[in-house]
Amino acid sequence: MAHEHEHEYEEEMMAEEHVHIERPTIIAPSILSADFANLGADVRRVEEAGAEYIHIDVMDGSFVPNITVGPCVVESLRKMSKAVFDVHLMVEHPETHIEPFAKAGADIITFHVEATRHAHRVIQQIKAAGCKAGIALNPGTSIYTLEELIDDVDMVLLMTVNPGFGGQKFIENTLGKIHALYHTVMDNELNVDIEVDGGINAETAESVRSAGANVLVAGSYIYGAKDIAAAVAALRG
């Protein structure tokens, strides 16, 4: 009988360890899918539809093939939006871009762990510039690269497609990575958001939320919707 009680206790403990703690879901529309001829209006539309963040993809044509926007675009948008500006640096040498984007109005600056040899220094630079610091991982990069960094960041961005192009299909095996990162955050009582970017729609949003993500980047699903407010609500679940 004693052994039976011990077994029941172990099962209860295991169940408790796997309880999923709900966090409010934040929606971050990516301007990569907006109409660049009417960018200010498109930013206002998603903000009015309930999106809390504006996700700004910065590409240099080197780390990823495309080239997108610079600090002057962020500065112009800042004048017409009160949303959190979530700047995602998909660039080589991210340390050279931090101060210009911080001055332009970024609230969060995220860089890729694959793009620098001195990640701690970049995190320190971002915080010294008055912004929250995020670190991004490509689909093929292990979360174990975060082991010495996660205590120092405010957000981890897990790419669920390979970066550089919009409209790609969600990579299903990234769900395990999201789940593992979620338990690292919860087990260590860290105040770290988990952001996902790539192939996010109503269906994949449910999957990534269940795995533990609480900041969802979506581009074509939001900007291509007839009813943007309904699309934002569907992502939030």
Residues taking part in catalysis: 57, 197
Cross-strand partners of 156: 135, 194
152 φψ region: left (φ > 0), alpha (ψ -120 to 50), beta (else): alpha
The Cα–Cα gap between 124 and 103 comes to 16
> Is residue 73 classed exposed, middle or buried when 0-12, 13-18 and 19+ CB atoms within 10 A define those classes?
middle
Q: Which of 153, 170, 174, 173 is nearest to 161 (CA)?
A: 170
The Cβ of residue 65 has, within 10 Å, a number of other Cβ atoms equal to 11
Alpha-carbon dihedral sign for residues 133, 103, 82, 58: negative
